[in-house]
Amino acid sequence: MGLLEIGGLLLFVLLLMLSGGVWIAMTLAIVGWVGQAFFTSTVPGKNLFTAFWETTASWELAALPLFIWMGEILYRTRLSEQMFDGLSPWLSRIPGRLMHTTVLGCGIFGSVSGSSAATCATIAKVALPELDKRGYDRNLALGSLAAAGGLGILIPPSITMVVYAVAADASVIRLFLAGFLPGFLLMALFSGYIIWWSLRNPDKVPPAEAPTTFAEKMRRSGSLIPCGLLIVFIVWVLVSGIATATECAAYGVVGSLVIAAASRQLTWRNFWQGLTGATRVSCMIMFILAGAAFLTKTMAFTGIPRELAELVERLQLSPYGLIFVLVIVYLILGAALDGISMIVLTSAVVLPMIQQAGFDLIWFGIFIIMLIEIAEITPPVGFNLFVLQNMTGIDSNRIAKVTLPFFACMIFAIALITVFPSIVTVLPDLFMGKEL
C-alpha cells in the first residue's frame, strides 16, 4: 500500500471515530496508534509516552493555562462586562456593533499570547457570554472567534514564527515585523465581513443604543480603564524585556487579580470558580494537544508529509503554479497535523524549491503561517474548532460550517500577499533595510 493510500485510510478512521462520538483526544491518539502499529516498524507505546510527555512538559505551553485563568478572572468578576459597556457607545454606529470585539479582542490578545489556542479560549470565555446576553447571532460569534483566534500566531510574538525562522535560517526580528500588516489585513477582512453580514441581516443584529453625547461616551469609556491597563501592563513587561512571552501570562494573571481586588469584585468564591474552570479547559486543551502530537509522530514515521512535498517537486511547476499547489498540500496536511509539525516535516524539501522559484523566505514564512491559521479551522483536526466545541458543547462540524466565510477571507488574504508581496516585506525592509 502506498503512502498516500495509508494517509487516506487513517483519515477515514479519524472521521469514523469522530462521527461516532469518541473523545477528540482519544481519537487522535488511537489513529496515531493504528498508523504506527500497522504501517511502521516503530514501537507505538514508547512513542505514545514520549509524545504525551514532550507536549505537556513544554515550557511554552505553560502560558496556556495562565492566559485561560486570566480570562476566567475577567469573566467571573464582571470586568469583561464593564469592558463591553465601555465599547458599546463607540461601536453603536458600525454595522455589527459589539460583534467586532471578537476580532479586536483576538488581535490585541494575540499580540501578547503568541498562541492561537490561548487566544481563542480566552477571548471566547470573555466575549461569548456577553454577546449572548445582548442578543447577538451565536453562529457569527463562533465563526469569528474560531478564525480570529488564529491571529495569535500571526501577530508577533509567535512561537510558530520562531520555529520557522530556525528551520529557514531566517531573521526572527524580520519575520516578526513582517507579520503585522498581514495580521491587520486579516482583522480588516474579518470586520468587513461582519459589516456586510450585518447589513444583509439587520433583523439578527440587536437594535442600536440611543445616541449619546461625546461626554457620555467618555464617561462610559471609564469602564475600559481596568482591562486597558491590564493589556498595557502585559505589553509593557514584554516589550521592556522584563518577561518573555510565556512569563507574560503569569504577569497577566497577577494583574487581573490585582485589578479585580482593587475594584472589590474578587471573592474567594469566584476565585475558586475561575481556578477550577481554567483547570478544566486547560486539561482539555493539553489532552488534545498530546493526542495531536502522537498523531504527528505517526505522520513523520510513515513519511506522508515528505512524500507530498517530493510529489510537488517532481511536478516542475512555474512559480505561481508552485504556490497554488503548496496551498493545496498544506491545506491537506493541516487536516491532520499541527502548525509547527507542518513546518518541521516539510521545510527540508519545500524551502529549497521556494528559493529556486525566486520567492523571499520571509514572505514564505508569513504565507505558511497564514495557511496554518486556516488549518486551525479545518476539520477534522482544526484545533480552534475543538476548543470552542469543548467550551460550548456545539459540534465542531457545525462550528466549521459557520467559519466558512472567514475561511474565504483567509484565502483572499493569501491571494493578496501573493500578488502584492510588499504587504509582507515593506516593514522589514523599512526598519531593517533590504537583505542582500
Q: Do residues 342 and 368 make contact, with C-beta atoms less than 8 angstroms apart?
A: yes
Average pLDDT of the chain, as a whole number: 81
- pLDDT at position 167: 73
- pLDDT at position 196: 95
**Could you tell me which residue, 233 or 333, shows the higher pLDDT?**
233
pLDDT at 112 over 70: no
pLDDT average, residue stretch 321-330: 85
pLDDT-based confidence at residue 142 (cuts at 50, 70, 90): very high
- pLDDT at position 348: 62
Give every CB contact of residue 389 below 8 A, 6+ residues apart in sequence. Answer: 24, 395, 396, 399
**DSSP code string of 326-361:** HHHHHHHHHTTS-HHHHHHHHHHHHHHHHHHTT--H
pLDDT-based confidence at residue 111 (cuts at 50, 70, 90): low
pLDDT at 117 over 90: no
pLDDT-based confidence at residue 315 (cuts at 50, 70, 90): confident
pLDDT 10s digits, 150-173: 887 888 767 677 778 877 878 877
As given in the structure block, the three cell numbers for residue 379 are: 476539520
- pLDDT at position 114: 61
pLDDT 10s digits, 241-281: 787 767 877 888 888 888 888 878 888 888 898 888 888 87
- pLDDT at position 414: 93
pLDDT 10s digits, 195-240: 999 999 988 888 776 667 777 777 777 777 777 787 778 778 876 7
**Predicted structure pTM score:** 0.74
Dist CA 370 CA 178 (whole Å)? 12
- pLDDT at position 70: 79
Give the rounded percent of residues in the chain with a pLDDT score beyond 90.
Answer: 15
- pLDDT at position 269: 87
**DSSP code string of 124-146:** HHHHHHHHHHTT--HHHHHHHHH
